[in-house]
Chain A
Amino acid sequence: MSTSPADRNILSTPSSDEPRSAKPSFARRLLRSARSLPVLVAFVVLALVVFLAIFAPWLGTTDPIAIDPGSRFASSSAVHWFGSDAFGRDVYSRLLHGARVSLIVGLGATFASVLLGLVIGVFAGYFPRVDAVVMRVMDGVMAIPSILLAIALVSLTGATLVTVLVAIIVPEIPRVVRLVRSVILNVRSEAYVEAAILLGTPMWRMLTRHMVPNTVAPLIVQGTFIFASAILTEATLSFLGAGLPSEIPSWGNMMADGRTYFQLYPGLVLYPGIVLALTLLSSNIIGDVLRDLLDPKMAKRT
Chain B
Amino acid sequence: MISYILKRVIATLPVMLMVAIVVFAILRLTPGDPAAILAGDDASGEQLERIRQMMGLDQPILTQLYVWVRQLLTGDLGVSLLSNTPVIQMIGARVGPTLSLALSTIIFTVLVAVPMGVIAARRPGGWLDRTVMTFSVLGFSIPTFVVGYLLIYWLALKLGWFPVQGYAPLAKGVWPYAQRLILPTLALSGIYIALVARMTRSSVMDVMGEDFIRTARAKGATEWSVLLRHALRNAAVPIVTVIGIGIASLITGVVVTESVFNLPGLGRLVVEAVLARDYPVIQGLILLFSFTYILINLLVDVLYTAFDPRIRY
Contact = CB atoms under 8 A, between A and B. Distances in A.
Interface of A: 1, 4-6, 8, 10-17, 38, 136-137, 139-140, 142-149, 151-152, 155-156, 175, 228, 232-233, 235-236, 239-241, 252, 255-256, 259, 262-263, 269, 273, 276-281, 284-285, 288, 297, 301
A262 B149 contact: yes
B242 A10 contact: yes
Contacts of A5: 237-238, 241, 304, 308, 311
Given A155-B32, A156-B31, A148 B270 contact: yes
B80 interface: no
A6 B8 CA distance: 15
Contacts of B133: 288
Contacts of B274: 147-148, 151-152
A263 B313 CA distance: 55
A17 B143 contact: no
B1 to A, nearest CB: 14
Contact of A14 (B14, B149, B206, B252): B206
B22 interface: yes
B137 interface: yes
A10 B300 CA distance: 14
A276 B23 contact: no
B228 interface: no
Contacts of A281: 134, 137-138, 141
A35 B293 CA distance: 43
B208 A239 contact: no
A19 to B, nearest CB: 10
A239 B248 contact: no
A175 to B, nearest CB: 8
Task: Across the A-B interface, give the 3 residue pairs with the lowest CB-CB distance, nearest first.
Answer: A13-B202, A143-B290, A280-B141
Contacts of A10: 195, 199, 238, 241-242, 245
Contact of A144 (B134, B138, B290): B290
B301 A4 contact: yes
B5 interface: no
B141 to A, nearest CB: 4
Interface in B223-251: 237-238, 241-242, 244-245, 248, 251
Interface centre among B125, B140, B195, B293, by most A CB within 10 Å? Answer: B140
Given A1-B313, A6-B300, A6-B301, A147 B255 contact: yes
A148 B26 contact: yes
A262 B157 CA distance: 13
A256 B143 CA distance: 10
Q: Is the interface of A mostly helix, strand, loop or mixed?
A: helix
B293 A143 contact: yes
B234 to A, nearest CB: 12
5 contacts: A5-B237, A17-B124, A144-B26, A145-B255, A146-B252
B251 A145 contact: yes
A101 B143 CA distance: 17
B103 to A, nearest CB: 19
Residue of A143, A240, A297 with most chain B CB atoms under a 10 A cut-off? A143
A131 to B, nearest CB: 13
Interface string B259-292: 1000000000011001100000010001001100
B205 to A, nearest CB: 5
B142 A262 contact: no
Contact of A269 (B30, B125, B146, B275): B146
B55 to A, nearest CB: 19
Given A140-B22, A147-B270, A284-B140, A6 B149 contact: no
A158 to B, nearest CB: 10
A277 B138 contact: yes
B180 interface: no
A281 B149 CA distance: 20
A147 B272 CA distance: 11
A280 B139 CA distance: 10
Interface in B102-140: 124-125, 130, 133-134, 137-138, 140
A284 to B, nearest CB: 4
A146 B203 CA distance: 30
Interface in B1-55: 11, 14-15, 18-19, 22-23, 26-27, 29-32
B136 to A, nearest CB: 9
Nearest to A17: B125
B91 to A, nearest CB: 15
Contacts of B27: 152
Contacts of A241: 275
Given A4-B301, A15-B202, A145-B270, A255 B311 contact: no
Contacts of A276: 141-143
Nearest to B141: A280
A38 B252 contact: no
B244 A6 contact: yes
A284 B19 CA distance: 33
B209 interface: yes
